[in-house]
Amino acid sequence: MTIRWYPGHMSKAHEEISELIRRTDVIIEVLDARLPFSSSNHLLEELRRNKPCIKVLNKHDLADPAVTTAWVRSFQTVSGIRALPLSAKQLAEVKQLIKLCKHLVPKRGNPGYPVRAMVVGIPNVGKSTLINTLAGKCMAKVGDKPAITVRAQQIDLRNGIHLFDTPGLLWPEMSDQGGAYRLATSGAIGANALDYTNVGLFAAEFMVRRYPELLKARYKLSELSEEPYEVIEAIGRCLGCLASGGVVDLHRAAEAFLRELRAGKVGRISFEEPETAIPTETAAQVS
């Protein structure tokens, strides 16, 4: 099943981003550390006009630490890009971001002459959480800019950083169905755009291949089938997702499995590695 998801209000977004970037000193692109490739929007690279960009690898508490380290190394090779793994819920980690913004824009960074930082990211990567942690009680909403139809909100953090918050300005690229399925597995795609059973089967196939030991440990499985249906069945049995007659309810089992995976209950998992995160039309077309 092909995943299509393109909320209408995002369609004018890149013109508006382009306009905002003119007035920005540094771009903070929030990515999901578990899938930094698919949670980014590659248009941003075109639009950023050599402005420095910090790739925040958010939710690193859920990602495989070794893979996150590999991503940081890979991003550092691109001119003007810095990568910072953090958890947007942890103030101590978020403070590193403030430091890095000031380091990248040394001519600014005091309350009278703040660094103007634009926060972008696809839905659900943790932008609001990050902004709330950054703003804390100091949050000062300067007001909506009527010319900017996306309602970019400005927030003066009163610590030398002025944020442009751009809700929902970026969207993931769904032409890459492998990426779409990884996003769906992570929880970034609205439930009404996907079929839980298909996404659960995709996730089971991935986990068997990449993290079999975590799967066995969580669901007390001594052996893993290579057939994703059988894996979901075994997980469903373990989680008690049974229909009448004692058969596993595959839909419920897939949904429960995805909920656990997204919450980190199966372990710290990365869905993409820098060497292999290439677009594929076919990888995830489980039908």
Binding site for ligand G4P (CB under 6 A): 58-59, 61-62, 87-89, 121, 123-129
Which is nearer to ligand G4P, 121 or 236 (by Cβ)? 121
Q: Which is nearer to ligand G4P, 58 or 177 (CB)?
A: 58
Task: Give me the least distance between CB of 34 and ligand G4P, in Å please.
Answer: 10
Q: Cα–Cα distance between 207 and 203 in angstroms, integer?
A: 6
Closer CB to ligand G4P, 10 or 248, in the complex: 10
Backbone angles phi, psi at 220, to 5 degrees: 50, 50
Burial of 69 (0-12, 13-18, 19+ CB in 10 A): exposed
d(CA 86, CA 156): 22
Minimum CB distance to ligand G4P, residue 244 (Å): 31
Q: How far apart are CA 211 and CA 232, in angstroms?
A: 15
Residue whose CB is less far from ligand G4P, 264 or 274: 264
The residue type found at 110 is N
Nearer to ligand G4P, 121 or 160 (CB): 121
Closest approach, Cβ 286 to ligand G4P, in A, equals 25
Give the shortest CB-57-to-ligand G4P separation in angstroms. 10
CB of 162 to ligand G4P, least distance (A): 19
Contacts of 67 (CB under 8 A, 6+ apart): 270, 272, 273
